[in-house]
Amino acid sequence: MPLARTYSVALVGVTGHVVEVEADIANGLVGMILVGLPDTALREARDRIRAAIVNSGEDWPQRKITIGLSPASLPKRGSWFDLAIAIGLLTAAGTVPRAASDGVMFFGELGLDGRLRPVSGVLPAVAAAAPKGFGTVMVAEQNAPEAGLVPGVRVIAAGSLAAAADWLRGTPGLRSGPPAAEFRSDRDRPCSKTRSPHDSAARNSVSGRFAAQVVSANAAVVPEPDLADMLGQSMARRAAEICAAGGHHLSLLGPPGAGKTMLPERIPTILPRLDTAAALEVTSIHSVAGTLPPQIPLITSPPFMAPHHTATKAAIVGGGSGVILPGSASLAHRGVLFLDEAPEFAKDALDALRQPLEAGEVVVARLGVIARFPARFTLVLAANPCPCAKMAGRADGCSCSPMTRRRYLGRISGPLLDRVDLKIELRPVSRRELLNDRNFAESSRTVALRVIQARDRAARRLRGTPWRLNAEISGSELRRTWPPAPGSLAAVERCLDRGQISARGVVKVIRVAWTLADLAGKSHPGKDECNAALGLWLGVER
């Protein structure tokens, strides 16, 4: 029967959908038809696949070829269906055994010479294929370490279409060039039987090449910045510790040179390393965006994103006219999103962050497609007090009028600032303060230990709930299950009556109070923690 089926995955955001690729060869006008809502890159696959098959020494069927991608109502984008289509054609033509591709998922772009090129988004695609019963995936050699992160999946690394076809025929290494082989990393569990005696040597060769790349990448390690470099700003260092311990958002206001850029860059150094689930989630987002370094298949450090103030709304929250890609907000998932010179950003780009700050995800809607990207990050805003950014009080200081200053800072909307937990004003640091603070500034390692201890206390308290940090707890559950000590919110209630704080702000204050209690080793926030949290929310010292 001149009909064959292979399988691949279509990504919508970071969600994968299994796609059945049907190849039919029939009598009729010689040509190839591709149906199933393909985009431009996928429609061009017809010419790429024909050249790749011919240049790989295979015969091209001189008949009518129809390729169907099912479900037909799901948009298909990108070039990584090339390998699945080519194997389907060879199977329909009878040159590849039909049973060989059963339970195998195919990802990869083909070059005109038959080479198999890496593609973006392999990790979430393999993660979507595994629960559907696909125990084997075939990818380009460069994508093998990324695909191998999904447990229970056998990864076959191929460098070309010829190597992939020979492996399916059970004759790997028959033709020149590196044969396709099962990829195994050091942390892999024992795998099932191999397809051929040749697999073992080839597998060791493939794994050795990737191990050499990782060693080379780790050879040039750049020293990390240290929180102790932030001299003369003890309150700012304390705010960074609170943000890291509870996942709270931070706003910094101050003149140039006060440390508004230095502090956010050092927050990732006091954040705990990502656990396995978070690391896979973060790696999936960067894989879809195409920003995953080839030598580092798994991201284990909290990401840090600092987009330029000229970035568009799509660059910040995600989107695109063709392929929907994640923005900086999602790329900073489980890490830090730093917006330097925040008033210079477009107002619509800033306000677009309000929804992910509350929901922890970005939802991008396009015609017929809704993409969801995780976006649970720590937001850090930095701003100068006025457009001229000169310090007031000096002979050549700031000459901006109060109206000019209010208009400048008013570019950051009130609803966005209402979602920021801590507001810190940085003062210029004198020479004496710089010298004296050297004896008191703690290193990132010391602060990180306190952050881990505070997070452990919060994790024990939140065991059995969907939350992991104080900043994630819903307001209703916070008031019902974890209210502060009686009478400790008296100052907060007075501010609420005077209109100085919103109902959302009250919830923010209670969350920060719990983080302060966790850092202090207390079982419950008291009056001191609630007052301190209120001062941090209002931006004044209490």
Per-residue pLDDT tens digits for 417-470: 999 999 999 988 888 888 888 888 899 999 999 999 999 999 999 999 999 999
pLDDT computed for residue 211 by the predictor:
44
* Long-range Cβ pairs for the range 346-349 (8 Å, 24+): 346/312, 346/313, 347/411, 347/413, 348/313, 349/311, 349/312, 349/313, 349/315, 349/316, 349/317
Rounded Cα–Cα distance for residues 297 and 281 (Å): 12
Q: What is the torsion angle, in degrees rounded to the nearest 10, for the CA atoms of residue 263, residue 269, residue 271 and residue 274?
A: 140
Rounded Cα–Cα distance for residues 506 and 495 (Å): 9
pLDDT computed for residue 185 by the predictor:
63
Can you tell me whether residue 380 is helix, strand or coil? strand
pLDDT computed for residue 204 by the predictor:
46
Structural domains in the chain plus CATH codes: 3-217 (3.30.230.10), 227-469 (3.40.50.300), 473-542 (no CATH)
In the chain, pLDDT over 70 holds for what percent of residues? Answer: 91
pLDDT computed for residue 431 by the predictor:
85
Sheet containing 104-106, strands listed edge to edge, beginning at the edge strand earlier in sequence: 31-35, 64-70, 15-26, 3-12, 104-106, 136-140, 154-158, 181-183
Can you tell me whether residue 5 is helix, strand or coil? strand
pLDDT computed for residue 197 by the predictor:
37
Rounded Cα–Cα distance for residues 253 and 8 (Å): 50
Residues of the chain with pLDDT under 70: 1, 185-223, 391-396, 541-542
Rounded Cα–Cα distance for residues 430 and 241 (Å): 23
